[in-house]
């Protein structure tokens, strides 16, 4: 199974228009795409102009075939008006040697992941849309510890998450282009269910099961936090982001 993330930065003026566009235009188009199992749009709870379009595919080949298709190109052209303008400016000389400044639309960033563990989906999303709360945890593992992480996640972490009230779906995915990056995706009935799980202490207990597999920078940071006051951040920090599923449908 193959998962594709399309990271979008939306113009705040158009954010509310993007949701019905995704439901009425994008989802029906993806439903016709061979091998597409699910399409959803999630919105960052802390930075509402950030959205991620998620698609789940039977194979990587089918996802790549769709990305090269005219249908995908047409959808991307329709999405562009919703995108925010970046803070980066291009400077060029016109024919009369006057400076011209052109703001550039932020292009969507695509990230591809192979799904290595999952909890089977039920049929609720197949026939109707129900709002869900999505939690993403991103970690970087030591190269020789990735297999250890995957095994512990599948055999010890998934059963715990599976027993948590409100936890609907579980996915573990590996980034195909950024070595050793792994993302755990859990979908909850509500924010309250996800918060209850995190505040119970179970999240920290589960992290302890796999922290020996994290990158050395992360272990160093954790050791310092355990022995010093204050928080020390590194580029290898464990990232926890929360999103609201604002549009989505399961096709198979």
Angle (CA) 176 26 38, round 5°: 50
Examine the pLDDT at 136 and tell me if it is beyond 50: yes
Would you state the structure tokens that stand for residue 9, as one six-digit string? 């930065």
Tokens 């052209």 found at: 77
Does residue 97 sit in helix, strand or coil? coil
Would you state the structure tokens that stand for residue 151, as one six-digit string? 């095994």
The rounded mean pLDDT for the chain is: 77
Instruction: Output the furthest CA–CA distance in the chain (Å, rounded).
Output: 69
- Which H helix or E strand runs over 63? helix 60-67
**Mean pLDDT of the 192-214 span:** 91
Would you state the structure tokens that stand for residue 103, as one six-digit string? 């703001």
pLDDT tens for residues 33-90? Answer: 999 988 888 888 888 888 888 888 888 899 889 989 999 999 888 988 888 854 333 3
Share of the chain above pLDDT 70, in %: 70
In contact, 142 and 148? CB cutoff 8 Å: no
In contact, 238 and 138? CB cutoff 8 Å: yes
Better pLDDT: 226 or 189: 189
Would you state the structure tokens that stand for residue 72, as one six-digit string? 């995908």
**107: confidence class by pLDDT, cuts 50, 70, 90:** low
Residue 133 CB coordination number (10 Å): 22
Examine the pLDDT at 102 and tell me if it is beyond 50: no
**Chain centroid to CA 223: how far?**
28
**Mean pLDDT of the 152-170 span:** 91
- Sign of CA pseudo-dihedral 69, 73, 74, 79: positive
DSSP 218: H
In contact, 150 and 156? CB cutoff 8 Å: no
**98: confidence class by pLDDT, cuts 50, 70, 90:** very low
Torsions phi, psi of 235, nearest 5? -70, -10
Residue 17 CB coordination number (10 Å): 13
**96: confidence class by pLDDT, cuts 50, 70, 90:** very low
Domains of the chain and CATH, by start = 2-89+101-250 (3.30.70.100)
Better pLDDT: 218 or 31: 31
Per-residue pLDDT, 222: 61
Torsions phi, psi of 91, nearest 5? -115, 125
Per-residue pLDDT, 148: 94
Better pLDDT: 129 or 5: 5
In contact, 232 and 224? CB cutoff 8 Å: yes
What is the C-alpha radius of gyration for the chain, rounded to an integer number of angstroms?
A: 20
Per-residue pLDDT, 219: 65
């Amino acid at each position: 199974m193959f998962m594709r993330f399309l990271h979008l930065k939306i113009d705040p003026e158009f954010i509310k228009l993007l949701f019905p566009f995704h439901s009425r235009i994008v989802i029906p188009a993806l439903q016709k795409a061979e091998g597409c199992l699910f399409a959803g749009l999630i919105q960052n709870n802390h930075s509402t102009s950030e959205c991620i379009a998620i698609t789940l595919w039977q194979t990587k080949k089918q996802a790549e075939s769709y990305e090269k298709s005219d249908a995908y190109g047409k959808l991307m052209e329709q999405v562009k008006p919703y995108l925010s303008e970046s803070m980066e400016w291009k400077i060029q000389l016109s024919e009369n040697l006057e400076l011209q400044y052109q703001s550039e639309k932020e292009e969507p960033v695509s990230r591809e992941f192979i799904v290595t563990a999952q909890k089977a989906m039920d049929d609720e999303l197949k026939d109707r849309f129900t709002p869900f709360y999505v939690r993403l945890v991103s970690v970087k593992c030591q190269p020789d510890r990735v297999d250890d992480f995957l095994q512990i996640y599948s055999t010890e972490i998934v059963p715990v998450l599976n027993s948590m009230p409100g936890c609907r779906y579980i996915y573990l995915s590996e980034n195909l282009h950024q070595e050793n990056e792994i993302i755990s995706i859990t979908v909850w009935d509500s924010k309250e269910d996800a918060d209850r799980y995190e505040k119970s202490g179970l999240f920290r207990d589960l992290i302890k099961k796999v922290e020996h597999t994290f990158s050395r920078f992360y272990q160093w940071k954790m050791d310092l936090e355990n022995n010093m006051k204050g928080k020390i951040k590194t580029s290898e920090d464990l990232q926890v982001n929360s999103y609201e599923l604002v549009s989505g449908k399961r096709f198979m």
